[in-house]
Amino acid sequence: MLFVQQIVNGLMLGGIYVLIAVAFTLAIGILNFLNFSIPGIFMLGAVVIWHFLASGWPWLPSILVGLAAGVVASLIVERFTYRLMKDSEPEIPLVSSVAFLVLFENLVIVKWGSDQQRFPQFMADFNIRIGEIIIGIGQLVSLATAVILVIAVTLLLKKTKVGRGIRAIGENQETARILGVQVHRIVPILFIVTGLLTAFAGLLFAINYQQVSWSMGDEVGLKGIAAMVIGGMGNVGGAVIGGLLIGLTEVLSIYFFGANMVDISVYGLLLVLLIFWPHGILGSTAAPREKL
């Protein structure tokens, strides 16, 4: 039954990837922007929360400050990357967002050094047993939180005025503007959502694995891209499926092949997907046609 236990673990990890994948997929789908700063925000949220906890602050304020840091970082990226470059080829804002990833990581190293830090325990070591399977309370809370957040985002997109505006922008920004959508107000809201989801993912990771480091974005956050691609770029439901699948792939890969094979499995899968099935599971197959 160890195998089933691994499946459970994979789903829990998957929940974290889901949040990151949703952040990526919203940016790609709505704004055609591959936001490489997302892994940096993932790390920043976690590190900021750790810092305040380590300084003696209680949990709730620390978490709130960490989430706020994620939002602020995301808005800075919006201001200096997307807003300035949305009319050029999509690779230019991508490059800038990559520079932000580097910036966030190095700011953290400057302030706190490059060592991995221990993240305190969130709740008592409490486990649920179902048959022979052990589920930690932390893991359950993690998965539940991820699910709630994704549902919240989906409801936001489908039921609210802001959400409709976001989807209109995703269809065609010019048309949306003509139809009266306040693009310059709505786009930052999207970045706020990105910041929240991503920083939250960082928090969940820190709680479950009880560690934070400046490189956790590179090691964990970037895998969210693979999750996004599997599920289909631009598709939130796809991001959910993709996130869970990548979580499973990672955990099962460790189980069967050892920890050193994880990157080969996850990124090998990403590479194969990009070459043969770039539209992913739920993405559209229509390729845009050029006008001559």
Partner 1 sequence: MSGYTEALFTLLAINCVVALSGYMSLAAGQLNLGIAGFMAIGAYVSAFLTNNYDLPIFLGIIAGGAAACVIALLLAVPVLRTHGIYLALATFALGQVIQGILLNMEVVGAAAGYGVSKHASFGFIAGTALIVIAVIFYLSKTRFSMYLTAVKSDAIVSDLFGVNVRVTMVQAFSLGGLLAGIGGALYGHYYNYLEPQNFNILLSIYIALYVLLGGVQTFYGPLVGAAVFTLLPELLRDSDQWRFVVFAIAVILVMAVRPQGLITSDLLRRFGGRA
What DSSP element (H or E) covers 211? strand 211-212
Task: Tell me which of 27, 30, 48, 101 binds partner 1, using CB under 8 A.
Answer: 101
Candidates 147, 137, 159; CA nearest to 19 is: 147
189 touches partner 1 by CB under 8 A: no
Q: How far is the CB of 290 from partner 1 (least distance, A)?
A: 6
In the complex with partner 1, the residue whose CB is nearer, 95 or 179, is 95
Of the listed pieces 150-158, 165-173, 191-199, 272-280, which binds partner 1 according to CB under 8 A?
272-280
60 touches partner 1 by CB under 8 A: no
Task: Tell me which of 222, 244, 246, 282 binds partner 1, using CB under 8 A.
Answer: 222
Tell me which DSSP letter residue 286 carries: P
For residue 54, give the 3-state DSSP assignment: helix
Q: Are strands 211-212 and 117-118 parallel, antiparallel or unpaired?
A: antiparallel
Task: Tell me which of 255, 267, 277, 281 binds partner 1, using CB under 8 A.
Answer: 267
270 touches partner 1 by CB under 8 A: yes
179 touches partner 1 by CB under 8 A: no
Q: Indicate the burial class of 105 (C-beta count within 10 angstroms; 0-12, 13-18, 19 or more).
A: buried
Q: Cα dist. 246→116, 138, 222, 227 in Å?
A: 24, 20, 11, 6
Instruction: Write down the residue that tokens 């709630």 correspond to.
Output: 148
68 touches partner 1 by CB under 8 A: no
Are 231 and 281 spatial neighbours (Cβ–Cβ below 8 Å)?
A: yes
Residue type, 47: V
Q: How far is the CB of 287 from partner 1 (least distance, A)?
A: 10
Are 169 and 181 spatial neighbours (Cβ–Cβ below 8 Å)?
A: yes
117 touches partner 1 by CB under 8 A: no
Of the listed pieces 48-56, 106-114, 116-124, 186-194, which binds partner 1 according to CB under 8 A?
106-114
149 touches partner 1 by CB under 8 A: no
For residue 57, give the 3-state DSSP assignment: coil
144 touches partner 1 by CB under 8 A: no
Which residues 6+ apart lie within 8 Å of 281 measured at CB? 230, 231, 232, 238, 241, 242
Of the listed pieces 54-62, 93-101, 164-172, 190-198, which binds partner 1 according to CB under 8 A?
93-101
The interface with partner 1 within residues 16-55 (CB under 8 A) comprises: 28, 34
**Residues at the interface with partner 1 (CB under 8 A):** 28, 34, 80-81, 84-85, 88-92, 94-96, 98-103, 105-107, 109-110, 218, 222, 225-226, 229, 260-264, 267-268, 270-271, 274-275, 278, 290, 292
